[in-house]
A = this chain, B = another copy of it.
Amino acid sequence: MSRVVKLAVIPGDGIGPEVVGEAVKVLDAVTADSGVTFEKTPFSLGAGRYLETGDTLTDDDLAAIASHDAILLGAVGGVPGDPRLKDANIERGLLLKLRFELDHYVNLRPSKLYPGATGPLAEPGEIDFVVVREGTEGPYVGNGGAIRRGTPHEVANETSVNTAYGVERVVRYAFALAERRRHKLTLVHKTNVLVHAGGMWKRIVDAVASEFPGVDVDYLHVDAATIFLVTNPGRFDVIVTDNLFGDILTDLAGAVTGGIGLAASGNINPDGAFPSMFEPVHGSAPDIAGSQKADPTAAILSVALLLDHLGLTDEAARVTRAVEDDIASRDGARTTAQIGDAIAARVQA
């Protein structure tokens, strides 16, 4: 019996189309004889689309995307400082809108130092952890505003909104993940300053912990967590944290594990009410767009997360293994397509 997966594909801007091209190549290769067909619908969204039409994400776009089983996204965002984008906020209007509207409350960001990958740390040791970043609350909710804008008396506020409902569901997900991994969960927040939000996160983690007696729990302030990420990243297994701290920690984590060119992510709605979305952590890097210099590995690893999410665990494992083998045997510069070809060849071998 053959299964059909409806996949929305958003190549986006800059290097997005190039890396998505390679990711799709690998997806096709690994599913070639698997009985699963991915029906792909391309969506033209991002700075390019905005410059052409003035639209960022229309209700029709959103409804069409939501009718798919999953989403693969490259990267969105125009050239920094482009005056034509002055009034656009592609990140908020497109990327964050998708995460919020599709209730992607788990932003899953694994960090692994693959044999052969080189990072900036002198003695990295083994690094293999996952950040479970909350995706629909916190300082990202857009509940800010300003008065007396542009005057010497301007006041600009940003409100971080956090709910027990929203925190508990992501914390529960993180505990379940830790139980399937090395049984260690670290909450990262800033409870000594953000006493209300941080206090609630801490209480909820403590409460959920009692349902997962096999999982060791600890807590770090976000500032201390950045220190450990560079001095002892091996201490982490699963990190659960808020939307903004997760944003910061995962870029740092990407840097210490061989670069943001390897960092994959899933924006997941575990309930299945909405399609989940998989994307590399890196941005659209317009400065190198079209030059075949981008590393498609993060996009390809995002396909592995996508396959895993869809229950295609064998296929996911084949992609991951192919990437690992590819990284281990890297020498010399290759084009975006050469890396994609090499990994696609490995998944078929």
Which A residues have a C-beta under 8 Å from some C-beta of B?
89, 91-92, 96, 120-123, 139-140, 142, 144-146, 148-165, 168, 190, 192-197, 199-200, 203, 222-224, 226-227, 230-231, 244, 247-248, 250-252, 254-256, 259-260
Closest B residue to A152 using CB positions: B164
Contact of A91 among B122, B154, B192 (CB under 8 A): B192
In the complex, the answer to whether B251 meets A140 with C-beta atoms within 8 Å is no
Contacts A/B (CB < 8 Å), 17 sampled? A120-B121, A140-B193, A144-B194, A144-B195, A144-B196, A146-B199, A146-B200, A150-B203, A156-B163, A158-B194, A158-B197, A223-B247, A226-B248, A226-B251, A226-B255, A227-B251, A227-B252
In the complex, the answer to whether B152 meets A165 with C-beta atoms within 8 Å is yes
A194 to B140, CA, bound (A): 7
Instruction: Pick from A122, A156, A224 the residue with the most CB of B within 10 Å.
Output: A156
Contact of A230 among B142, B153, B230 (CB under 8 A): B230
In the complex, the answer to whether B157 meets A159 with C-beta atoms within 8 Å is yes
Closest B residue to A118 using CB positions: B122
A227 to B257, CA, bound (A): 11
Contacts of A222 in B (CB 8 A): 247-248
Contacts of A163 in B (CB 8 A): 153-156
A155 to B162, CA, bound (A): 6
Shortest beta-carbon distance from A243 to chain B in Å: 9
A155 to B244, CA, bound (A): 18
Contacts of A165 in B (CB 8 A): 152-153
Closest B residue to A164 using CB positions: B154
